[in-house]
Amino acid sequence: MMNSKYSVGIDMSKKDFKACFILFDANQEVKIKASRAFVNTLNGFEQFKEWYTKHQKEDLSIVFILEATGAYHEQLAWFLYKNKQNINIVLPNRSKAFLISLGQKSKNDKVDAKGLAVMGAVQKLKLWQPISQAFYKLRSLTRHLEDLQNIRTSLINQQEQVNYAMYEIKDVSKSIIATLKTLDKQIAHCKKKIYSTIEKDEALNKKVAYMTSIKGVGMLTAAIVMSETNGFALINNVKQLVSYTGYDVKENQSGSKVGKTRITKKGNAHIRRAMHLPAFSTVRNKVKPFNELYNRVYEKQGIKMKAYVAVQSKLLRMMYTLWKNETMFDANYQPSGIQEHKPLFSIDPIGENNKTAESKDSAALDQLPCNQSHEALFSVTQI
């Protein structure tokens, strides 16, 4: 028989959050103990703490479950973590699917909070761990760089429209050119910050060298993968990594009907974008075993993009293996498994006179050494 437990579902928004406190008893019955709204500020967090402490009358375990809503949930999650509480953070699509399974037709903040509370009570979810400060900085920088490059692409497209317009509007054209110059400076500055953040930590720089030993994988690609996974802290095997990044395969088959097989894309889109150009580069440079995989899939499916997506997935798994095993890439050797997880590196940056990652002769898409590649990063087209 299942033990009784408390569960608190929290529906977050920018200004406030709604909480539902339930008791899931040994008979698997849900009893709502209380529900209330709080302001999404530090003062609101303190009131929330007093509220859930007051209702936790029995000596039972308690779990808090939140949706990942941009950055709005982060301060509350950090507050609860500092107060030594068990926290689950789920993607919105997963919580939505659970609410549908409950047969709930109405949707409002109170209903969502209750559904999250029930989800936290009945499902065994992985406890949330905060991202380290070093990786949080890297993640903020790489995502900012992605935004800047997307804006630049949009402006270039707008410039094309202006150049081929029926009438020439010089003021608009000059404004676009000036904005592009400013964006280029911001992009260069952002890249410089990413490189310096990695290079100042000797242990982190060493880890990056393992991943960038694959011809076509640059430092920016490695930075994105590291920061979006918190240094693979909660990834225990390649299967989890594939699922986290949305490269897991979704079948469409029922009886005699066989539909198209696709990847789910229900995962970290930043990593999938980051793997786009490196996959092209490894195939173009005929790097084993990625080039062989591309040829096999393309010969079987007849669709180039499917073959490149397969290469992206394998390339990501290889980067994870090199990180865990702390070894350089060898095209003629396939690792037999993942070694026992080792402590990663110090969060505090080491002195500026550290040795940087060993230089590589192989080149990425921008023709720089692959561990210094600036461009093997984003594609506007999402895989």
Residue where a domain terminates, one of 97, 122, 147: 122
Q: Quote the domain boundaries for residue 205.
A: 134-372
| 129 found inside a domain | no
DSSP-based helix, strand, coil % in the chain, nearest 5: 50, 15, 40
Mean pLDDT value across residues 335-350: 42
List the one residue out of 68, 60, 84, 54 whose CA is nearest residue 10.
68
- 140 and 273 in a single domain? The answer is yes
| 99 found inside a domain | yes
| Tokens encoding 73 | 């949930």
Half-sphere exposure of 333 (CA within 13 A, CB side): 9
| 76 found inside a domain | yes
pLDDT at 243: 87
Residue where a domain terminates, one of 102, 122, 142: 122
Task: Please answer whether residues 125 and 9 qualify as being in contact, where contact means their C-beta atoms are separated by less than 8 angstroms.
Answer: no
pLDDT at 289: 94
pLDDT band at 95 (very low <50, low <70, confident <90, very high): confident
pTM flag (> 0.85): no
Return the residue matching tokens 């003021």.
Answer: 171
User: 3-state class of 198 per DSSP?
Assistant: helix
CA–CA separation, 204 and 226 (whole Å): 10
- 105 and 198 in a single domain? The answer is no
pLDDT at 166: 87
Task: Please answer whether residues 8 and 21 qualify as being in contact, where contact means their C-beta atoms are separated by less than 8 angstroms.
Answer: yes
| 381 found inside a domain | no
How many domains, in total, are found in the chain? 2
What separation in angstroms does the CA of 13 have from each of 74, 81, 83, 109, 208?
11, 19, 22, 9, 36
User: Any idea what the CATH number is for the domain that residue 53 is in?
Assistant: 3.30.420.10
- 279 and 361 in a single domain? The answer is yes
| 377 found inside a domain | no
- How far from chain centre, in Å, is Cα 273? 11
- 323 and 200 in a single domain? The answer is yes
- 156 and 110 in a single domain? The answer is no
- 214 and 266 in a single domain? The answer is yes
Which amino acid is residue 278, in one-letter code?
P
pLDDT at 105: 64
CB atoms within 10 A of CB 263: 20
Q: Bridge partners of 31? A: 23
| Tokens encoding 332 | 């003629």
| 59 found inside a domain | yes
More confident: 1 or 114: 114
- 181 and 94 in a single domain? The answer is no
End-to-end CA distance of the chain: 45
- 285 and 204 in a single domain? The answer is yes
pLDDT at 370: 40
List the one residue out of 264, 246, 194, 189 whose CA is nearest residue 223.
194
- 94 and 152 in a single domain? The answer is no
| 361 found inside a domain | yes
Q: Which residues have a Cβ under 8 Å from the Cβ of 167 and sit 6 or more positions away?
A: none
| 171 found inside a domain | yes
Whether pLDDT at 298 is above 70: yes
- 199 and 51 in a single domain? The answer is no
- 35 and 148 in a single domain? The answer is no
Per-residue pLDDT tens over the stretch 227-241 = 999 898 878 889 889
Residue where a domain terminates, one of 122, 147, 177: 122
- 226 and 78 in a single domain? The answer is no
CB atoms within 10 A of CB 2: 11
CB atoms within 10 A of CB 83: 11
Q: What mean pLDDT, rounded, does the chain reach?
A: 83
Question: Does residue 289 have a cis peptide bond before it, meaning omega lies within 30 degrees of 0?
Answer: yes
Reported in sequence order, the residue ranges of 198-350 that DSSP labels E, i.e. its strands, are: 249-250, 253-254, 257-258, 262-263
CA–CA separation, 222 and 210 (whole Å): 10
